[in-house]
Chains A and B, each alone.
Chain A
Amino acid sequence: MQNESAIDPKIFEEILKFSKNVIDAPKLVSAPDEISLEVTKHDVVQEMDKTRLLHYAPLTDKQHKTPLLISYALINRYHILDIHPEKSWVRNLLQQGFDVYMLDWGTPTSMDKYLDFDDYVNGYLDAYVEYIKNESSVEKISLQGYCTGATIATAYITLHPENVKNYIATAPVIDGWRDTTVISNLAKHMDVDKMVDVIGNMPPEFMYYCFSVLKPFEQGIEKYVNFFKNIENKKFVDSFLRVEKWLSDTPPIPGELFKQWIKDIYQDNLLIQNKMYVGNQLIDLKKITMPIFTQVAVGDHLVSPECSMPLHYAVGSEDKTLRMYPTGHVGMIASSLSQKKVLPELGKWLLKRS
């Protein structure tokens, strides 16, 4: 009897309110196809196979001379760098006067299963860099790589250093053996030859599985409880749905590229040892001699800091900067911290060299 009377009636109020929010959710929330992730105005200036080169419209009267190309990751899509006007990486750089291009890797189909590192590095990325150089009448451009996009950018720079003036490596995947994430553990035990032989491209469903085991209870329960609790907060709901839509949009990864990725980066760790080959050419990190700015998130549970930081020490550049931020993988590029701290620091560094 004593126990019953000790229960706070607010608990029941909370449960009733939460239940009401769950019931009301369909009326208050937009369907995923009603949400557009295209935030900042841009043109598609080049296309190759399924990849596209986007050029963002300037937001300042004058722009810095050296254009910046962003090589986005192969997992999910580039929209996270322009997810919301207030949290947009791209918009912030445009407001700082940079001329920004974005590489959209597109959605590979079964037909693309033989695309490999060579196609991405010496094919697509090289062609787009050449295009930008011609369009902007410059000899060199600035290149930013994010996550797996930084691995491709790193390989590119070692093979074509003459085209790149500045390099920004944001959470780059470099040293697979030092990576302490769950993804690295799964990758190390994967029979990737059999996987590519049987299913071709790396399917999005498998990527979902890999992501779902990262902080499973925080991401699988707490996140949605918060969502229903804040269902009447339009700003929160809008931001939540945008990120959810982005998370659910994972294209497959071409089989051959994925195979080399898992073997060379996670299983044999060739990149950091300067033993990796792309299109029969050795990737030697010492050949990176231009100014380099490495950004690492301390709480990154997708690419651990230990996996990214070795790049800073392995390159041949004398002008090199390493910055660590108290946030996570996505927080570093799409949060209020990225707007207040990460981007201003990057802009200042890049401006001096552009």
Chain B
Amino acid sequence: MAQAVARPAAASRRRSGLARQEATFGYLFLLPWLIGLTVFVIGPMIGAFVLSFTPYSLGRPLTFNGGANFVRAFTADPQFYNAVGRTLNWAVIYVPLSIVGALLTAMLLNQGLKGTNIFRTIFFMPHLVPIVASVYIWTYLLNPKYGLVNEILFRITHVDPGPGWFASKDWALPGLIILGLWAAIGGNQMLIFLAGLQGVPKDLYEVADLDGANGWQKFRNITLPMISPTVFFNLVLGIIAALQTFSNAFVATNGGPAYATWFYSLHIYASAFQFGEYGYAAALAVIFFLVLVVLTTIQFQLQKRWVYYGGEVK
């Protein structure tokens, strides 16, 4: 103590030396990720912007064509607006259904039923089936002619023929939505909701009971505000995931029939890897990125009106 008082200059020098050492090692531990972030995330991000102004294809020198790719996307690409429309159509139906479905499933598991762990595990299993495998299972189940689903529908309604599902341009999207919901309503989003529900303090409900609140009032005025941060989280990531949906449509329908499930990701993929137009595909990706930035910013602005953070433990 006395020493420290006697030689404050030396102590502070030693402290700043330690701080510098700590900083050096901090960067050193972070080095792999700094490289990864630069080479595999930020670099490619910049690369996408640069490529979007070029007619690049593999092996060609980099030349610039101004905004020609963007002009083409908006004015001369017959599938561009179709892809945008199909993707929005998918997201607008699928995102709310999956979030409401996951929330209802989580609420069911939050009722203290006996065997809740077993139910949770069973509900979660579809989410674990690899997408490719689940697509094939459903391709058979939804086969318009031989599939079990149409057989059951026929026995109930006696309408023949039933929906054409992946073979029909009107039913392919509903088919993908069924597949998606099957995998989603007991999946990760549900687990996150469940954790949110379990974090709502029980005494709030007890107070509401004393006030004579009914089930809906308790849900509307206690549950929903208290779990609004989880709703927001699932909504933001759910929209991003839905807008870049690829594997299910690629495997089940390859974007068909007649481009009925030609999602935006398939359009990017086909432009690059089937037609070799990498510059154009990069421009499509940049448009997608900008739209997402705007969408996500809007959501972060709007959340101030409806997301309640007072319930967080921290």
A binds B: no
